[in-house]
Chain A
Amino acid sequence: MIELIHLEKKYDLAAPLKDVNTVISRGDIISVIGPSGTGKSTLLRCINLLEKPTGGQILLDGEEITAPKYNPTKARSRMGMVFQSFNLFNHLTVIENLIIPS
């Protein structure tokens, strides 16, 4: 279960995420829809901790992954993420691309 509580991400010139609250339960299939530049990717990157949220909390199964001392690797190893540009590892074979986290 992923919970977002008052999630906020601000840049110097823009604030794509303002007070985002949601609960995503096991088995949910969610689409995030919006025009270009409205923060869809930023939201996903925040949940994966590739971007550091500037405010609010993210809970993964009740554990706060936005806590200052939380190790991002721990949360990421339990999430799968497909990037817009895929980012396949060119130097590895298909099977290695599939198993690399192990």
Chain B
Amino acid sequence: MSDLYVTEENKKAIPLSEALFTVEITGMVRDEGYAAAARPFWESVTDSFRKTFIVENRWQLFLDGIGTTLLITVLSILFGTALGFSVFLLCRKGNPVANGVTHILIRLVTGLPTVVLLMVLYYVIFGGLTVSAAVVSVICFSLVFGSAVCAMVKGRVDTVGVGQTEAACSLGLTDRKAFFHVVLPQALPYILPQYREQISALVKATSVVGYVAVQDLTKMGDIIRSRTFEAFFPLLVVAAVYFLLAELLTWLACRLEIRMDPKRRSKEKIMKGVAASD
């Protein structure tokens, strides 16, 4: 808990009890003439490592943090993709007023710094409700990711010429079929690389959830740092894990990209579709 000062202003905002005990604050100034006792380099490294990971089983804190970060990221990717794509589909033939409102909301989400949006959601919009900070984080990052998905799908679908839709329609495909069988498959190979970039950006963006007291990887690094006064190992591990997480998720998205490229379909798959349509 951070310091709480009993002031006249604070008393008006929240009902405070009588002060039960007070804590003195002590300031410390470093002696300029002081030099740390020189220790062999290797000894200081092993000591730092021990304090960061072994003492009090602190490696478990890192594991918990990784789990939380991964959970928030993966859920936000899933919900965000579903949300962004649904919004795009609804807006495709939506009425201009509803589309305008949606557009403004998307601009709002993309126009705010993610950490500000997160705090607005946690303290203002869900402030009166008992919603866990992790859930609010997932909602926040789903909105952020969803906006990005919606914008990139729209941008790429628009670049597929209108002639393709017309040609598909003139062959007797319904509007929906023309979109899913002709327009979207041509836009996807261009959407997915952007999608991959967004995933990598999202992993990194989740590092701000500590602001609403979610104990993710960054926060765990902070906690350990504040206990051990050692910055080297906690930050090194946090940096390395974010990098690896981003790489892992990007690699998975890459696999998806290859699977969904219509030009990479196997001959058997194409002929199967041909035979099925006879």
Using a CB–CB distance below 8 Å, which chain A residues touch chain B? 48, 50, 72-74, 76-79, 81, 83, 85, 87-93, 95-96, 99-102
Question: CA–CA, A48 to B278, complex, Å?
Answer: 25
Interchain CA distance A78-B171 in the complex, whole Å = 8
Interface secondary structure of B, over-half rule: helix
Question: Given the complex, which residues of B lie within 8 Å of A79, measured CB to CB?
Answer: 170
Complex alpha-carbon distance, A78 and B260, angstroms: 32
- Residue B174 is within 8 A (CB to CB) of chain A in the complex: yes
User: Which among A87, A90, A91, A92 is the interface contact of B166 at CB below 8 angstroms?
Assistant: A87
Contact between B169 and A76, CB atoms less than 8 A apart: yes
**A residues within 8 A CB of B273?**
96
Residues A89 and B167 in contact, CB atoms below 8 Å apart? yes
| Shortest CB distance B102–A (Å) | 27
Question: Measured between C-beta atoms, what is the minimum distance from A70 to chain B in Å?
Answer: 14
Q: How far is the CA of A93 from the CA of B263 in the complex (A)?
A: 9
* Nearest 6 Cβ contacts at the A-B interface: A77-B172, A87-B167, A91-B262, A101-B171, A87-B163, A81-B170
Interface size on B, as a range, is: 20 to 34
| Given A91-B186, A99-B277, A100-B181, residue A83 in contact with residue B171 (CB < 8 A) | no
B182 partner, pick from A50, A74, A83, A89, beta carbons under 8 A? A89
Contacts of B169 in A (CB 8 A): 50, 72-73, 76
Complex CA distance for A95 and B276, rounded to whole angstroms: 13
The answer for the CA separation of A77 and B171 in the assembled complex, in Å, is: 6
Binary contact readout B139-175 vs A (1 if CB under 8 angstroms, 0 otherwise): 0000000000000000000000101101111111110
B185 sits at the interface (CB 8 A): yes
Q: Are A83 and B172 in contact (CB under 8 A)?
A: no
A87 vs B160: C-alpha distance when bound (angstroms): 11
B97 within 8 A of A: no
Chain A neighbourhood of B186, CB < 8 A: 89-91
- Most central of A76, A83, A87 by chain B CB within 10 Å: A87
**Is there contact, CB below 8 Å, between B170 and A91?**
no
Q: CB-CB contacts of B255-275 with A at 8 A, as 1s and 0s?
A: 000000011000000100110
Q: Chain A residues with Cβ under 8 A from B166's Cβ? A: 50, 83, 87
Known: A87-B161, A101-B173. 19 other contacts (CB 8 A): A50-B169, A50-B170, A76-B171, A81-B167, A81-B170, A83-B166, A87-B164, A87-B167, A89-B182, A89-B186, A91-B186, A91-B262, A93-B270, A99-B277, A100-B173, A100-B181, A101-B171, A102-B277, A102-B278
